[in-house]
Amino acid sequence: MLRGLWRRRWLSLVVLIVAVVPVAAASLAPVYTGAARTAIIRNALDGAVPDHRGWRVTSPAEDAGELARQVAAPFLRPPIAGAELLSPEIKGLKFYSLLWQDGQCGHVTLLKGRCPSAAGEIMVSRASGFLPGATVKLSAFLEGPPDKLRPVPLRVVGVYRVDPADPFWFGRALFPQTAGVTEGNGDPLITTPQTQARYGPPPGDQIAVASGKAWVTSAIVYVDARRVTSQDLAALEAVQGRLRDLGQLHENTTVFTYMETTLQAIRLQIDSLSVPTTLVALQLVVLGWLLLFLTVRDLVAARAPEIALARLRGLSSPRIWAFGLSEPAAILLAALPLGVAAGWSVATAMAGRLLRADLPVTVDADAVAYGVAAVAGGLLAAAAAARQTVAQPVVEQWRRTPRGRGRTWIPEAVILTITVAGLVELLAGGAITDSTGQRAGALVAPGLLAVAVALLARRLLPLACAALFRLTRTRGGIGAFLAVRQISRGPATASTVIVLAAGLGLAVFAVAAWSVTSRNFTDVARVHNGAETVFVVPPGDIARLRELSDGIPGTAPVVVVPGPPAMLATDLERFASVALWRPEYGGGRPLAELVRGLTVPVAPRVTLTGDRIRAHLAVPPIPKGYDVVLYADFRVAGQTTPASIPLARPIPSRAVYEWGLPRGCQDARCELRGLRVEVKTTGSTDYDTPPDSITVTSLEARHEGRWTTVDAGLDDMRRWTPRAAGGSGLTLSISPFGGVSASAPATFPDPLPALAGGSTGMKLPGLDDAHRAGYAATTPVAAVPGLNAAGAVVDLDLADRVAYGYSPKAEFQIWAAPGKGAEIREALHAAGVPVLATRTVGDRVAGYTGQGPGLALMLLVVSAGAAALLALGRAVLALYASARRRTYELAALEAAGARVRPLRIALLLEQAVTLSWAGLAGVAAGVVAARAALPRVPEFAEAPVTPQLDYTLVPQPLILVAVAVLAASLLAAAVTAELLLRGVRFEQLREAPA
Amino acid sequence: MTAVTSPAAVVRCDGVVQIYKTREIEVVALRDIDLVIEEGESVALLGPSGAGKSTLLWLLAGLLRPSAGRLWLGGVEVGRLGTRALDRLRAAQIGVVLQNPARNLIPYASAAQNVAFAQRAVRRRDRRAAGDLLERVGLGSVRDQPAGGLSGGEQQRLAVAVALANRPRLLLADEPTSQLDADSGRAVVELINEVGATSVLVTHDIRVSEAMSRTVTIRDGRIGAEGRDGEDFVVIGREGAVQLPPEYHELLPPGSMARVEPLRDGVILRRAES
């Protein structure tokens, strides 16, 4: 057998290469999918903010470190243990967090002094203002006997600087003073575990726990993205479950994490990966089987004389089958490890280039099983290919009598029927008709269409050549005459056209799909990211965000609140200068022009600071049975809901009323957001003479003992809405039968003018996520930068006027102008602003590429390209083999006086026409498949709501492929024709035809 | 006419007809063949190209089944045998040498492997030792050389050795000397005669036919003549048809009319003058 393989070494090599392809294609899918899954997990973890990729377990009663260590997994980093005690300074000015965390000295930069190492030592931030050597005392951190408790003196031994974005701190807003927030809490006082051990209450001290004077132990656990693989996903979900249970099963234990969200995103992406990659691999395996069938048929045909000998010698049928298939079987068995190795190599290269560099690419049992399945299919293909040779009577073979006309139309009709039935099934099943692009089943459509077009092309070519018979009798010389006749009768033409057209069809589809998808990836990434680079910064207030943006040129302050509908509030002029915008989204208008209409004149805010408020009222007679209360609503810093006070309970005899302002108004500025009256009636109410209305004539606030008039615009009709103001003051109805009983300063319009695709009729969430105001699109646009769902862009100042505070859902961002990402990152760092996350257009594109559909398409491009090259090679070989069998005829023609030139032309024409026809049919099949199936082929794991995807084909790559195919075909034709003609010798005529 | 029945007959054809079907037409290759070959006979099949010699040989090899008529090989009627039984019969009782010596051999296998390949289909005790066989045909020195590398004469002798590998009762050879020089051809024929098996050779070579005990001439798919002991006889066909040997066509050209004049032991054909 080995000698036979060596004797037919070139053909055997071709079979080996062809056999390796389906095995490689089959094993590539699971290997690459495994790597892609790992990449999805690692990318998700790497891109997540700390609380989305880890857990922070806290407990005042138990050792959180011990609790965290109960949940062990190889991919978890060791817990970062720590403890914390929140207490006001002894002077009561600020709250400080006295804390320690394992390894803290490695995560701070010491500006002065040293890291604390003993009990009672602390280090402080520069912003805290404490100096080395100073002593700090906290009112909740005491020592001594219960009756003589006194604050523990904490000695400052060092001054630190930290990177608040360091995951070591778990993304907590621990450093408000460094961030520039001077009110409320101070930066942490970092101490040692010994401090807790020496001065703190013993662990589990229930009294301390109950009184809030116990240290809260903590443990931060992170997933090590470098060690986690796709095999660990279930274990990771189990870890999440166990840690979540910790919080539920242990009293006073809390687990802070958003890991569930991250895991859901991972699961969504991973689930979207399997079906498309399997479908892609399946098509390529089937194409590989077709190639294998044809090539093995050649190999078995080359052994036909030996098989005939075996029959002549009386070998039994099983032995003849074994004899006939021994070589293909040996080659296929050799192809298994080679194919799996090739699949692994390609997967490794692809994973390194397309996914990430640190991925482990492993051949698992699935990959081997897929390879074995491909080999088994190859054996069946080999058996099918060998059947004719093995079953053909020996005498027929020797006599070379043509058998009855082969009914080749039967299998073709079967394939076409399956194709049509498959397409109908897909249409009926919704895969093709569903234009949302999320039906992976549509991925089989290109393969089906490619085969159908290939079969039609195979039938049309001989017919077209037959139609040229008459023409070539009279003109074109003997070259064209011979060529068209050979093509019209040649069986090699049929298989060549089918294989090449189907292979190229799939490859052209793959190129078309990838070019269109890449364009959509970029477009969607541009819109969803909004700017080239977006930095997520810690939440604060918009004044601080604006101040930050003002200090860094080329930036825009943005606050995004998820919807639906989502809201993006920004400084419009800056937004227009940094946002990624295509004029076609807005009817050809630049963004700067569109956002101009989003600012409108509004009344000034009514602000005040103080501890008391006084209202001057004009009160009409109030009949018996009416209980009237005038309420004032305030926006207070640090709150997200209105703070209301019962400003007055009006009675006719009294004009001045006074009430305490909300606590938050004493030192900070509050905003009066409305005045309203509530009227209650009792059983003895006199409904015949209802009260009229009260008039608020002026408001005063007391601050630091002095009363000052509040500029509320009570006499200006335009400053309040509904328009109850004017003349002598703000008039509110106290009648139970109607009238304006509440009014608010007209500091913002409702609906807010917005840049949006159109109004949904829903209210925007607002900065406080309270859905207080609607929105109206000034000019409908096709896409809004920064929004990946229905929503609107509004002016940041107007959004702030609507809100009472900031929802935890609000994400504060700094957008960077194109090309300025690195520079702005540096500037943010210099300003001491931690960057919680960085999002770039490139990252988003890479993310889409790493999702299931993107990976499947990339797999399709690589594999289909290889398969198409193989198909071209196989086609050239088939033509060569077919023409070689005719060298006897050519020798006879030459001997009869035919000149070589027409023969060369005939061969060249025959091969060039066949290859070009097959190539063009393949290109046509690919283009038809792309036009029909692309809108139905999934491109994203989750279909983007905006912008609308563009499915028009990108012509350049398709033209490039078509030209390359034609050039390769013509070159192959020229080379094979020349090689064949050089082999034509008169001596052949002395031999029997081969 | 009915074939003579003999218990020692290795081959018996009774009205055998063979028709080839091609795409559009049917070709009658043999018609009404009646032939008996006794054990130990050596028969040369003669006739012009296309007369049906090779077809008859393939029928005798069990590679074809008669389209009509009956064929017995070694006393077994071929038409009653299944494919497997026919394969076994061929493997055990029939050795075949094809026209081109190279077509009998697997070129990349050694001479000994070629012999062994032919022996795969029979029981071990029925095999001849390959070494002895190769020695006997004078190829002992090249037993391990690939068959494709042997000379034409060596290949032909190896082809005969392969055909004899299973001690066949019937040896069939198609033009076994056509590509050999005179000496090599003579050696091959002597070899075939030496082995003592019943043999049927298709040949155009007069020297080969003279070395056989009997000749059968086939023309237009019929047995036209037989030669025994140096004398040629025409054969009267089933409907009384007689094929005149070509040398008499001048006297009685095809298409001419003749008078049949009976004699006591036969008839005389005289050309009828028009």
Question: What is the distance between the alpha carbons of residues A467 and A488, in angstroms, rounded to a whole number?
Answer: 10
- What does the pLDDT read at residue A814? 93
A424 vs A175 pLDDT, higher one: A175
Q: How confident is the model at residue A885 (pLDDT cuts 50, 70, 90)?
A: low
- What does the pLDDT read at residue A815? 93
Listed ranges A390-394, B93-97, B98-102; the one with the highest mean pLDDT: B93-97
Percent residues over pLDDT 70 in chain B: 93
Q: Does A705 touch chain B (CB under 8 A)?
A: no
- What does the pLDDT read at residue A25? 78
Q: Do A310 and B117 touch (CB under 8 A)?
A: yes
For residue B95, what is the nearest residue in chain A, using CA coordinates?
A313
Q: Do B108 and A404 touch (CB under 8 A)?
A: no
Q: Do B89 and A314 touch (CB under 8 A)?
A: yes
A369 vs A482 pLDDT, higher one: A369
pLDDT, tens only, B241-256: 888 888 888 888 888 8
- What does the pLDDT read at residue A759? 66
For residue B103, what is the nearest residue in chain A, using CA coordinates?
A305
- What does the pLDDT read at residue A564? 82
Please state the rounded mean pLDDT for residues A783-803.
87
Residues in A touching B107 (Cβ below 8 Å): 7
- What does the pLDDT read at residue A424? 67
Q: Does B63 touch chain A (CB under 8 A)?
A: yes
pLDDT, tens only, A604-653: 888 888 888 998 988 888 777 788 888 989 888 777 778 888 888 888 88
193-222 of B, contacting A, C-beta below 8 A: none
Q: How confident is the model at residue A400 (pLDDT cuts 50, 70, 90)?
A: low
Helical pair A259-302 and A9-47, crossing angle rounded to 10 deg: 180
Q: Does B104 touch chain A (CB under 8 A)?
A: yes
- What does the pLDDT read at residue A987? 53
pLDDT, tens only, B41-60: 899 999 888 888 888 998 99
Please state the rounded mean pLDDT for residues A312-317.
81
**Three-class SS of residue A684?**
coil
Here the tokens at position A993 are 């035809």
Q: Do B117 and A402 touch (CB under 8 A)?
A: no
A970 vs A794 pLDDT, higher one: A794
Q: Does A303 touch chain B (CB under 8 A)?
A: no
Q: Do A402 and B23 touch (CB under 8 A)?
A: yes
What are the φ and ψ backbone dihedral angles of A929, each rounded to 5 degrees?
Answer: -60, -40
What are the φ and ψ backbone dihedral angles of A213, each rounded to 5 degrees?
Answer: -105, 10
B268 Cα to chain A: minimum distance (Å): 41
Residues in B touching A395 (Cβ below 8 Å): 58, 63-64
Here the tokens at position A943 are 């279909």
- Count of CB contacts below 8 A, A vs B? 66
A369 vs A893 pLDDT, higher one: A369
**Three-class SS of residue A265?**
helix
Question: What is the distance between the alpha carbons of residues A461 and A455, in angstroms, rounded to a whole number?
Answer: 10
Q: Does A309 touch chain B (CB under 8 A)?
A: yes
B64 Cα to chain A: minimum distance (Å): 7
Q: How confident is the model at residue A559 (pLDDT cuts 50, 70, 90)?
A: very high
Please state the rounded mean pLDDT for residues A320-324.
80
Question: What is the distance between the alpha carbons of residues A559 and A543, in angstroms, rounded to a whole number?
Answer: 12
Average confidence score pLDDT of chain B: 84
Nearest CA to A444 among A921, A860, A994, A872?
A860
CA separation, residue A603 to residues A570, A713, A745, B69 (Å): 20, 9, 7, 118
Range with lowest mean pLDDT among A37-51, A429-443, A522-536, A923-937: A429-443
- What does the pLDDT read at residue A991? 46
- What does the pLDDT read at residue A303? 74
In the block, residue with structure tokens 């896409």? A783
Please state the rounded mean pLDDT for residues B91-116.
85
pLDDT, tens only, A333-351: 898 999 999 989 988 988 8
Q: How confident is the model at residue A994 (pLDDT cuts 50, 70, 90)?
A: very low
Of B21, B63, B109, nearest to A395 by CB-CB distance is B63
Average confidence score pLDDT of chain A: 81
Q: Does B92 touch chain A (CB under 8 A)?
A: yes
For residue B25, what is the nearest residue in chain A, using CA coordinates?
A404
Question: What is the distance between the alpha carbons of residues A26 and A832, in angstroms, rounded to a whole number?
Answer: 52
Residues in A touching B18 (Cβ below 8 Å): none
pLDDT surpasses 50 at B5: no
Cβ-in-10-Å burial (0-12, 13-18, 19+) of B2 comes to exposed
Q: How confident is the model at residue A440 (pLDDT cuts 50, 70, 90)?
A: low
- What does the pLDDT read at residue A723? 75
Q: Maximum CA pair distance of chain A?
A: 137
- What does the pLDDT read at residue A412? 64
Helical pair A233-249 and A259-302, crossing angle rounded to 10 deg: 160
Which residues are bridge partners to A537 per DSSP? A812
Q: Do A313 and B117 touch (CB under 8 A)?
A: yes
pLDDT surpasses 70 at A258: yes
Range with lowest mean pLDDT among A722-726, A897-901, B7-11: A897-901
Of B64, B100, B118, nearest to A313 by CB-CB distance is B118
pLDDT surpasses 70 at A989: no
359-418 of A, contacting B, C-beta below 8 A: 393-395, 398-399, 401-402, 404-405
Task: Say if CB A856 and CB A28 are below 8 A apart.
Answer: no
What are the φ and ψ backbone dihedral angles of A647, each rounded to 5 degrees?
Answer: -65, -35
Query: Chain centroid to CA A438: how far?
Result: 14
Question: What is the distance between the alpha carbons of residues A310 and A903, in angstroms, rounded to a whole number?
Answer: 38
Residues in B touching A307 (Cβ below 8 Å): none
- What does the pLDDT read at residue B1? 40
For residue B227, what is the enclosing H or E element? Answer: strand B222-228
What's A626's DSSP letter?
Answer: E
Question: What is the distance between the alpha carbons of residues A801 and B245, in angstroms, rounded to a whole number?
Answer: 125
pLDDT, tens only, A510-557: 888 889 988 999 999 999 999 999 998 888 788 888 888 888 899 999
Amino acid making up residue A793: V
Burial A585-603 (b: 16+ CB within 10 A, else e): bbeeeebeebbeebeeebb
Please state the rounded mean pLDDT for residues B18-43.
85
Nearest CA to A218 among A418, A436, A58, A16?
A58
Q: How confident is the model at residue A275 (pLDDT cuts 50, 70, 90)?
A: low
Top residue of B27, B49, B117, B158 to mutate, by most chain A CBs within 10 Å, is: B117
Q: Do B58 and A317 touch (CB under 8 A)?
A: no
For residue B97, what is the nearest residue in chain A, using CA coordinates?
A312
Listed ranges A50-59, A379-388, A439-448, A923-932; the one with the highest mean pLDDT: A50-59
- What does the pLDDT read at residue A430? 52
Predicted-complex ipTM score: 0.82
Q: Do B87 and A393 touch (CB under 8 A)?
A: no
Q: How confident is the model at residue A237 (pLDDT cuts 50, 70, 90)?
A: very high
A135: Cβ contacts below 8 Å, ≥ 6 apart: A153, A154, A155, A156
Top residue of A1, A313, A396 to mutate, by most chain B CBs within 10 Å, is: A313
Q: How confident is the model at residue A204 (pLDDT cuts 50, 70, 90)?
A: low
Question: What is the distance between the alpha carbons of residues B93 and B88, in angstroms, rounded to a whole number?
Answer: 8
Of A3, A313, A395, nearest to B121 by CB-CB distance is A313
pLDDT surpasses 90 at B187: no
B196 vs B231 pLDDT, higher one: B231
For residue A315, what is the nearest residue in chain B, using CA coordinates?
B121
In the block, residue with structure tokens 């900031």? A806
- What does the pLDDT read at residue B249? 86
Label each residue of A336-400 as H, E or C: HHHHHHHHHHHHHHHHHHHHCCCCCCCCCHHHHHHHHHHHHHHHHHHHHHHHHHHHCCHHHHHHC
Burial B143-157 (b: 16+ CB within 10 A, else e): beebbeebeebbbbb
Q: Is the pTM of this model over 0.90?
A: no
Please state the rounded mean pLDDT for residues A773-782.
84
For residue A702, what is the enclosing H or E element? Answer: strand A693-703
- What does the pLDDT read at residue A441? 60
For residue B56, what is the nearest residue in chain A, using CA coordinates?
A395
Q: How confident is the model at residue A431 (pLDDT cuts 50, 70, 90)?
A: very low
pLDDT surpasses 60 at B2: no
**Three-class SS of residue A814?**
strand
- What does the pLDDT read at residue B4? 43
Q: Do A6 and B108 touch (CB under 8 A)?
A: yes
Q: Are strands A670-681 and A742-745 parallel, antiparallel or unpaired?
A: antiparallel
B175 vs A304 pLDDT, higher one: B175
Residues in B touching A4 (Cβ below 8 Å): 106, 108
Percent residues over pLDDT 90 in chain A: 11
Of A7, A312, A395, nearest to B64 by CB-CB distance is A395
- What does the pLDDT read at residue A658? 87
